[in-house]
Amino acid sequence: MLRSWQESDSNEKEVKSKKAKVKSCGENIIEWPMGRLDFSAGCVVMGVLNVTPDSFSDGGQFFDAAKAVERGLRMAADGAAIIDVGGESTRPGSASVSDDEQIKRVVPVIKALCKKIDVPISVDTYKIEVAKAALEAGAGMINDITALSDERMAELAAKHDMPVVLMHMQGTPTTMQVEPKYEDVVSEVLQFLLERARRAEDAGIDRKKIFIDPGIGFGKTLGHNLLLLRNIDKFVTSGYRVLIGTSRKSFIGKLTGREKPGERIFGTAATVALCAVACVSIVRVHDVAEMVDVVKIANKLKIQS
């Protein structure tokens, strides 16, 4: 049976869309004064290094600076392309930590890592004074769960030509999981991130150095998280690179029945593979060695143009 011209046109558009997605997936090497990221093979891994006593997955394990540095070195050896150091838990229900306390936690770790490895260091904070101290210590990227709500963060990043991660969160860590609601979670999250990304550009941040993160688990139900992951292509084709953090999160526990975060490695691997095949640029994970392997395979399975 002959296909109708509408079917032919639809298929052609789908093929072109897939080719465009693949093209946006690799090819660029991003360099800046304090780091370098190579996306020529596709997705890369960001290691999570929580220097906190109360993070949901590994709270207290690396609260000691020496243990945190040892963990960071292991992540680098295991293939992390970037290490994200945070001094404040943002798990659901968590309370804010003072600037001074965050600085006390993260600066010694960042300084030590920068002396020992070439892997760029990101600081996970939304507080300007913490970001400044981390930058002075050698950090070269800002991961902000409030998407640069403080305009001074954008100015700091632009001044030092630093990459930024802009994340979506409904509410605050203390309140975000109290009945989160959306009319259309995919559209609302994407539009929020695009608006913040354009604002970052207006502040002088290079478009190539802006990463958008839909904030899986940050003010979202299980259904919201699944919808965002099923529609991740809409974020990938937005014109900005995408970072996704699903590692060990509670929605994986709900789907697998694994109550302990440390037992959610295989569930995490499934989401990481999905993201890498979908041309997400960075996956943020706790289990670096395992997810580097997942990404290596998934990068080879992308549809080729």
170-209: per-residue pLDDT in tens? Answer: 877 766 676 788 999 999 999 999 999 999 999 999 999 9
208 catalytic, yes or no? no
The pLDDT > 90 percentage for the chain reads 78
User: What number is the average pLDDT over the span 250-263?
Assistant: 95
Q: What is the pLDDT of residue 30?
A: 96
- Weakest-pLDDT range from 5-19, 23-37, 210-224, 286-300: 5-19
Over the range 88-105, which residues count as b (16 or more CB within 10 Å of their CB) and which as e? bbbbbebeebebeebbeb
Domains located in the chain, CATH noted: 43-300 (3.20.20.20)
Q: What pLDDT digit, counting tens, does each position of 119-148 carry?
A: 999 999 999 999 999 999 999 999 999 999
- pLDDT above 50 for 12: no
The pLDDT > 70 percentage for the chain reads 84
Active-site position among 111, 196, 220, 249: 249
Active-site position among 196, 209, 220, 284: 284
Q: What is the mean pLDDT of the chain?
A: 88
284 catalytic, yes or no? yes
Q: What is the pLDDT of residue 96?
A: 77
Q: What pLDDT digit, counting tens, does each position of 53-82 carry?
A: 754 454 445 558 899 999 999 999 999 999
